[in-house]
């Protein structure tokens, strides 16, 4: 009796180190969400566990998705690439439909499913990785020709830009542009187009960043938050105070005070500041080390897929690395004042269901890749140009 096509029992075990790091980050995130959200939850709902309980459900769902996606036959993902991308585009439109779409503080980013809320931009990141990987592999050397290779990508980016910026969700669109640029570059896009695309994208994102007064205020506040500590610079000032209070070893888990209505978004975008206050720089560096090791393991899976001639999943792994590692760096940079204040969740740590589940979906696929390619083939060189012909 043969097993169903979506099971991978014939392959070896998935990357154990990556598995454990993901589980540790999910567990640590659940603890920190409770610590950072308890005062706000008590004030708003009367239940200090309100957000932690929901995060616990999200974590459980994320682990289930992580496990089953690591077991799905990899060929299945290539078959559903275009349908899944279509579903993502439809979902981005549905957020503007009254009753179904939910508006919070003027932003239309969620779809209401009664029990849960779906943020389509997170689904988009997952489906976009599949779409771009397949597009690069299928187009190959046509990437060097604007009309045949690049024009369709520009059309897709333009459409996604309209849908995301209408929400508005500048951060998600910046990540979409980053993912597209990285995968096209790895796919063999000629350097002249890389430089041109980087210049155009950088200019466009810069114009968008300063076009809205609140975005411009964030940029100017980032340069000197103490010039307006009770206005545009408030979040960053409170974040820096939290790190200052924590020092090297922290004030102790649960003993921080900045989460008591001083630090906005303490359990979402600025949860690293709570970690810094309660666990100190030791805790922050330990967390950064876990992210670094996880990124290395993701890269290793992609390199092994590339060495085996599987350009599709090599590109997918590198895209997941960009998504996972990029958001970690951006979130840490914002919390530490190294980057302008912008909402970036700390991967696998910050409160939120859609971001957690879909990132674990991508990581599950990476674990599936590590299961299929448990060892590196040294006889096959891994080069950027190798992706043009499918590996």
Q: What is the DSSP string of 110-131?
A: EEE-SS-EE-HHHHHHHHHHHH
Beta carbons of 274 and 266 less than 8 angstroms apart: yes
Name every residue whose Cβ is closer than 8 Å to that of residue 80 and which is 6 or more positions away in sequence.
130
pLDDT, residue 152, reads 83
Separation between Cα atoms, residue 337 and residue 224, nearest integer Å: 10
Q: Is residue 176 part of a domain?
A: yes
CA angle 316-318-321, nearest 5°? Answer: 110
Q: Is residue 2 part of a domain?
A: no
Task: Inform me whether the pLDDT recorded for 60 exceeds 90.
Answer: yes
pLDDT, residue 217, reads 63
Q: Which has more confidence, 286 or 159?
A: 286
Q: Which has more confidence, 199 or 16?
A: 16
Name every residue whose Cβ is closer than 8 Å to that of residue 176 and which is 6 or more positions away in sequence.
124, 125, 128, 157, 160, 161, 164
Which of 289, 253, 298, 302 shows the shortest CA–CA distance to 274? 253
pLDDT, residue 224, reads 75
Q: Which has more confidence, 235 or 99?
A: 235
Q: Which of 37-41, 47-51, 131-135, 213-217 has the lowest mean pLDDT?
A: 213-217
Q: Is residue 205 part of a domain?
A: yes
The residue range of the domain holding 122 is 16-389
Q: Which has more confidence, 381 or 275?
A: 275
Q: Is residue 1 part of a domain?
A: no
Number of other CB atoms surrounding residue 268 within 10 Å = 21
Q: Which has more confidence, 113 or 122?
A: 122
DSSP strand pairing (107-112 vs 101-104): antiparallel
Task: Inform me whether the pLDDT recorded for 187 exceeds 90.
Answer: no
Residue 373: DSSP 8-state: -
pLDDT, residue 219, reads 67
Take residue 19 and report the two structure tokens written for it. Answer: 């598995």
Q: Is residue 231 part of a domain?
A: yes
For 217-243, write each residue's pLDDT tens digit: 666 666 777 777 777 788 889 999 999
Task: Inform me whether the pLDDT recorded for 251 exceeds 70.
Answer: yes
Sign, Cα dihedral of 314, 129, 169, 182: positive
Distances in Å between the alpha carbon of 25 and those of 29, 43, 97, 275? 6, 27, 35, 13
Give the model's confidence band at 11: pLDDT under 50 very low, under 70 low, under 90 confident, else very high. Answer: low
Task: Inform me whether the pLDDT recorded for 9 exceeds 60.
Answer: no
**DSSP tally for the chain: helices H, then strands E:** 13, 3
Share above pLDDT 90 across residues of the chain, in percent, rounded to a whole number: 51
Q: Is residue 304 part of a domain?
A: yes
Q: How far is CA 277 from the centre of its chain?
A: 24
The neighbouring-strand residues paired with 101 are 111
How many domains does the chain divide into? Answer: 1
Which of 274, 280, 296 shows the shortest CA–CA distance to 346? 274
Q: Is residue 299 part of a domain?
A: yes
Give the model's confidence band at 1: pLDDT under 50 very low, under 70 low, under 90 confident, else very high. Answer: very low
pLDDT, residue 215, reads 61
Separation between Cα atoms, residue 278 and residue 245, nearest integer Å: 9
Tokens 């939850």, residue?
Answer: 41
Name every residue whose Cβ is closer than 8 Å to that of residue 53 and which is 6 or more positions away in sequence.
47
Separation between Cα atoms, residue 200 and residue 220, nearest integer Å: 23
pLDDT, residue 172, reads 87
Share above pLDDT 70 across residues of the chain, in percent, rounded to a whole number: 84
pLDDT, residue 287, reads 97
Q: Give the predicted TM-score (pTM) of the model.
A: 0.90
For 252-263, write each residue's pLDDT tens digit: 999 999 999 898
The neighbouring-strand residues paired with 110 are 102
Q: Is residue 291 part of a domain?
A: yes
pLDDT, residue 233, reads 81
Number of other CB atoms surrounding residue 203 within 10 Å = 10
Give the model's confidence band at 124: pLDDT under 50 very low, under 70 low, under 90 confident, else very high. Answer: very high
> How much is the average pLDDT of 366-386?
71
Separation between Cα atoms, residue 63 and residue 24, nearest integer Å: 11
pLDDT, residue 342, reads 75
* Burial profile 88-110: b = 16 or more Cβ within 10 angstroms, e = fewer: bbebbeebeeeeebeeeeeebbb
Task: Inform me whether the pLDDT recorded for 378 exceeds 60.
Answer: no
Q: Which has more confidence, 261 or 27?
A: 27
Q: Which of 53-62, 73-82, 110-119, 263-272 has the lowest mean pLDDT?
A: 110-119
| Long-range contacts of the stretch 208-216 (C-beta < 8 A, 24+) | 208/165, 208/170, 209/170, 209/340, 212/168, 215/170
């Amino acid at each position: 009796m043969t097993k169903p096509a979506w099971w991978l029992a014939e392959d070896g075990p998935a990357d154990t180190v990556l598995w454990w790091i993901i589980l540790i980050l999910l567990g640590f995130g659940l603890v920190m969400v409770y610590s950072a959200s308890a005062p706000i939850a008590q004030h708003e709902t009367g239940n200090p566990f309100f957000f932690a309980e929901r995060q616990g459900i999200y974590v459980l769902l994320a682990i289930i998705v992580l496990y089953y996606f690591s077991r799905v036959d990899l060929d299945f993902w290539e078959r559903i690439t275009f349908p899944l991308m279509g579903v993502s585009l439809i979902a981005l439109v549905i957020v503007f439909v009254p009753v179904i779409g939910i508006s919070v503080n003027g932003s239309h980013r969620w779809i209401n499913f009664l029990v849960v809320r779906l943020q389509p931009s997170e689904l988009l990141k997952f489906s976009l990785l599949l779409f771009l990987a397949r597009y690069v592999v299928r187009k190959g050397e046509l990437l060097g020709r604007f009309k045949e290779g690049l024009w369709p990508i520009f059309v897709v980016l333009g459409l996604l830009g309209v849908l995301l910026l209408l929400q508005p969700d500048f951060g998600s669109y910046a990540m979409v542009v980053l993912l597209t640029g990285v995968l096209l570059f790895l796919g063999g896009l000629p350097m002249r187009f890389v430089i041109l695309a980087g210049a155009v994208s950088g200019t466009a994102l810069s114009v968008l960043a300063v076009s809205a007064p609140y975005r411009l205020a964030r940029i100017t506040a980032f340069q000197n938050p103490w010039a307006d500590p009770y206005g545009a610079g408030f979040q960053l000032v409170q974040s820096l105070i939290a790190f200052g209070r924590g020092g090297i070893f922290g004030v102790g888990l649960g003993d921080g005070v900045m989460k008591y209505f001083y630090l906005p978004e303490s359990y979402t975008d600025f949860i690293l500041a709570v970690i810094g206050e309660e666990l100190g720089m030791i805790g922050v560096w330990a967390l950064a080390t876990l992210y670094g090791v996880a990124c290395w393991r993701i890269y290793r899976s992609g390199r092994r897929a590339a060495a085996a001639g599987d350009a599709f999943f090599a590109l997918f792994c590198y895209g997941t690395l960009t998504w996972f590692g990029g958001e970690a760096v951006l979130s840490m940079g914002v919390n530490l004042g190294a980057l302008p204040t912008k909402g970036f969740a700390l991967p696998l740590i910050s409160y939120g269901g859609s971001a957690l589940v879909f990132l674990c979906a991508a990581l599950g696929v990476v674990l599936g890749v590590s299961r299929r390619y448990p060892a590196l083939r040294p006889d096959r060189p891994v080069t950027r140009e190798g992706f043009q012909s499918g590996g």
